[in-house]
């Protein structure tokens, strides 16, 4: 069911949002902002929430030094997180089946790799993607940096989406990671986009960034053409032993604000209320849905940290009168031989990124 909007003019899909315009959205009174976001939401979306289940297929020992991440080898002495090996394909598929039976329509697999290396491990990930698609679920992976031929192999396996977050603004990026550049993130996103696989790309709030940086991240995402199909909005999970362990918890209303602005500048994208949800009340989550979130990570664990109870999530969705997105019939019969759909967007528009203007 598509909910009726009470105004007729369709919110335009824009790729020219200016920093000042986005900052002005952040500055609106919260209820005015949420109202505007809900109006846009109703034009492009129905009342369904997508349930995406996550599994860490290769945990810890990552060569990058992302300050927020419990899986970085740079923080391992303090976090105590061991470097584990890639887990078995059959086990991954058994977990995907359980997630499907619990109502998830997307299965996301995360590996703590800086970048993908060709070989047996990547072959196994390709088999995981094929297996998840054969279950009729959407498949998403996040494996770090990709080369074009690796993106193409994933596309050929039927991958629905590739998750690669920009995490924050280009201006603040150097404060949170020193082992890779913003441009390297954009390059991988461009390689994925070129194959027709959907982009899942968002960020984290609560890392010490300013509102300017939140606006700048959303500006960069909104300049992509097309916009990323999924935009995860994470609140920092301040894990003990990481450089960010002492940071104050994110105010739930800041999550509402970030989601609302994301909804307005990327009207068609699926905005996912992501990490940090377990710290939020039912009412705060409801406000995030009101502001335009229409997906959650579903299942007791994110990658290494706890997530909300699945039965409670189903109950909340029912209490709010929302619906769970069903598995689409066409994805259950995905033709692995068919070429990936061509996308209208241009890859060159993604690089390089200008500072906010």
Residues making contact with ligand SAM (CB under 6 A): 62, 68-69, 71, 110, 112-113, 142, 144, 164-165, 167, 204, 234, 236-237, 239, 275, 303
- Give the whole-angstrom CA distance, residue 357 versus residue 226: 21
Q: Is 201 a catalytic residue?
A: no
Asked if 278 interacts with ligand DTB (CB under 6 A), we say no
> Which residues on neighbouring strands pair with residue 346, listed in sequence order?
none
Q: Are 147 and 118 in contact (CB under 8 A)?
A: no
- Give me 46's structure tokens: 């129905």
Which range in 94-102, 124-132, 231-239, 241-249 contacts ligand DTB by CB under 6 A? Answer: 231-239
Q: Whose Cβ is closer to ligand SF4: residue 140's or residue 291's?
A: 140
Strand partners of residue 293: 271
> Considering only 146-154, 205-213, 303-311, 348-356, which stretch makes contact with ligand DTB by CB under 6 A?
303-311
What burial letters (b/e) apply to 238-250, b meaning 16+ CB within 10 Å?
A: bbeebbbeeeeeb
Tokens at 252, concatenated:
């739930």
Q: Please give the Cα distance from 299 to 279 (Å, whole number).
A: 15
- Is position 140 annotated as part of the catalytic site? yes
Quick check: 112 binds ligand SF4 (CB under 6 A)?
yes
Q: Which among 95, 140, 193, 263 is annotated as catalytic?
A: 140
Return all residues near 73 (Cβ < 8 A) that are at least 6 apart. 60, 61, 62, 63, 83
129 or 303: CB nearest ligand SAM = 303
For position 137 contacting ligand DTB by CB under 6 A, the verdict is: no
Residues 45-74 that bind ligand DTB (CB under 6 A): 54, 70
Provide the minimum distance between the beta carbon of 146 and ligand SF4 in the complex, in angstroms, as a whole number: 13
Q: Which of 55, 143, 177, 302 binds ligand DTB (CB under 6 A)?
A: 302
In the complex with ligand DTB, the residue whose CB is nearer, 199 or 303, is: 303
Burial group, residue 55, by CB count within 10 angstroms (0-12, 13-18, 19+) = buried
108 is catalytic: yes
In the complex, what is the shortest distance from the CB of residue 230 to ligand DTB, in angstroms, rounded to a whole number?
9
Going along the chain, which residue ranges are E strands? 48-58, 106-111, 138-142, 161-163, 198-200, 203-205, 230-235, 270-273, 293-297, 323-324
Q: How far apart are CA 305 and CA 160, in angstroms?
A: 25
With CB under 5 to 8 Å by kind, the binding choice for 164 among ligand DTB, ligand SF4, ligand SAM, none is ligand SAM
Residue 165 CB, shortest distance to ligand DTB, in Å, is: 5
Count of other CB atoms within 10 angstroms of residue 191: 21
CB closer to ligand SAM out of 239 and 264: 239
Question: Is 200 labeled as catalytic in the residue annotation?
Answer: yes
Taking alpha carbons only, the member of 109, 40, 46 closest to residue 294 is: 46
Q: Which residues would be at the binding site for ligand SF4 (CB under 6 A)?
A: 62, 64, 66, 69, 71-72, 112, 114, 144
Interaction site with ligand DTB (CB under 6 A): 54, 70, 108, 110, 142, 163, 165, 202, 232, 234, 237, 274-275, 302-305
Tell me the catalytic residues.
62, 66, 69, 108, 140, 200, 272
């Amino acid at each position: 069911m598509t909910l009726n909007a009470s105004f007729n003019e369709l919110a335009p899909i824009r790729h020219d949002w200016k920093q000042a315009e986005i900052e002005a959205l952040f500055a609106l009174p919260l209820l005015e902002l949420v109202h505007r976001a809900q109006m846009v939401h109703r034009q492009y979306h129905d009342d369904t929430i997508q349930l995406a289940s996550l599994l860490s297929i290769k945990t810890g020992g990552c060569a990058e030094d992302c300050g927020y991440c419990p899986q970085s080898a740079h923080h391992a002495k303090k976090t105590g997180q061991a470097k584990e090996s890639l887990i078995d394909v059959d086990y991954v598929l058994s977990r995907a089946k359980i997630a499907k039976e619990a109502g998830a329509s997307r299965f996301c697999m995360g590996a703590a790799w800086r970048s993908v290396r060709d070989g047996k491990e990547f072959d196994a990930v390709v088999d995981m993607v094929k297996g998840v698609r054969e279950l009729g679920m959407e498949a998403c992976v996040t494996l770090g940096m990709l080369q074009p031929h690796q993106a193409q192999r994933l596309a050929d396996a039927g991958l629905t989406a590739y998750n690669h977050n920009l995490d924050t603004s280009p201006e603040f990026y150097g404060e949170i990671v020193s082992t890779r550049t913003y441009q390297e993130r954009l390059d991988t996103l461009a390689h994925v986009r070129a194959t027709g696989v959907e982009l899942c790309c968002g960020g984290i709030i609560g890392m010490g960034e300013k509102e300017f940086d939140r606006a700048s991240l959303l500006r960069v995402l909104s300049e992509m053409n097309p916009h990323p199909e999924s935009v995860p909005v994470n609140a920092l999970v301040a894990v003990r032993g990481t450089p960010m362990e002492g940071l104050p918890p994110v105010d739930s209303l800041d999550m509402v604000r970030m989601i609302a602005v994301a909804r307005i500048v990327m009207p068609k994208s699926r905005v996912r209320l992501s990490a940090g949800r377990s710290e939020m009340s039912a009412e705060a989550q409801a406000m995030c849905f009101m502001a335009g979130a229409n997906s959650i990570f579903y299942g007791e664990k994110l990658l290494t940290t706890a997530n909300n109870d699945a039965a409670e999530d189903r109950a909340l969705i029912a209490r709010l009168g929302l619906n769970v997105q069903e598995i689409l019939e066409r994805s259950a019969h995905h033709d692995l031989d068919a070429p990936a759909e061509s996308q209208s967007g241009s890859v060159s528009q993604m690089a390089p990124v200008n500072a906010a203007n």
